[in-house]
Amino acid sequence: MANWGEFEAAAPTLALWGAKRLNRSRVAYLATTQPDGAPCVQTVMPVIAQGRLFLFMDTGEDSCWDGRYVMHSLVDNPAGIGGEFQISGYAVPVDDLLIREEAVKAACYTPANKYLLYELIIERAYAADYEDSIPREIRWNATLM
């Protein structure tokens, strides 16, 4: 498992690709599992700050969170031109007020005080580009670090 900075050091090209995709629309899809195993999908606005990847989550949405996640960037068109990025791993709650302050500063919106802050720890990453209808894929796995 790796935080964003460790992922960036281990796979700089893939991390750059991912940051561009996540920052392009500022919105991504987050899939989680509820404690009973039921799936939960929601839109989120990921924040990359100080070598870490954060999410602010509404406390009401927290009820469908058991820590595991898959996050996927938006895809701009049916042909996939512009590419896609996906990561998976575990989310860790962050209670440190100084870290929260930095995440708030880096966010593209002002998170409500009631929102909980999570750091996404990355286990796997995947990117694909479909230029010329030929998929070019890159994969990374933290266990291979």
pLDDT (0 to 100) of residue 130: 83
Taking residues 53-79, report their average pLDDT: 82
**Contact by Cβ (8 Å): 110, 104:** yes
pLDDT band at 60 (very low <50, low <70, confident <90, very high): low
**How would you label 91-129 residue by residue, b for 16+ Cβ within 10 Å and e otherwise?**
beebeeeebbeebbeebeeebeeebbbbbbbbbbbbbbb
**Contact by Cβ (8 Å): 53, 3:** yes
Query: What is this structure's pTM?
Result: 0.90
Please state whether 67 falls in left (phi above 0), alpha (psi between -120 and 50) or beta. left
Q: Does residue 108 or residue 132 have the better pLDDT?
A: 108
Residue 21: pLDDT above 60? Answer: yes
Which residues touch 19 (CB under 8 Å, ≥6 apart)? Answer: 48
Average pLDDT, the chain: 90
Helix (H), strand (E) at residue 77 = none
pLDDT band at 77 (very low <50, low <70, confident <90, very high): confident
pLDDT (0 to 100) of residue 127: 95
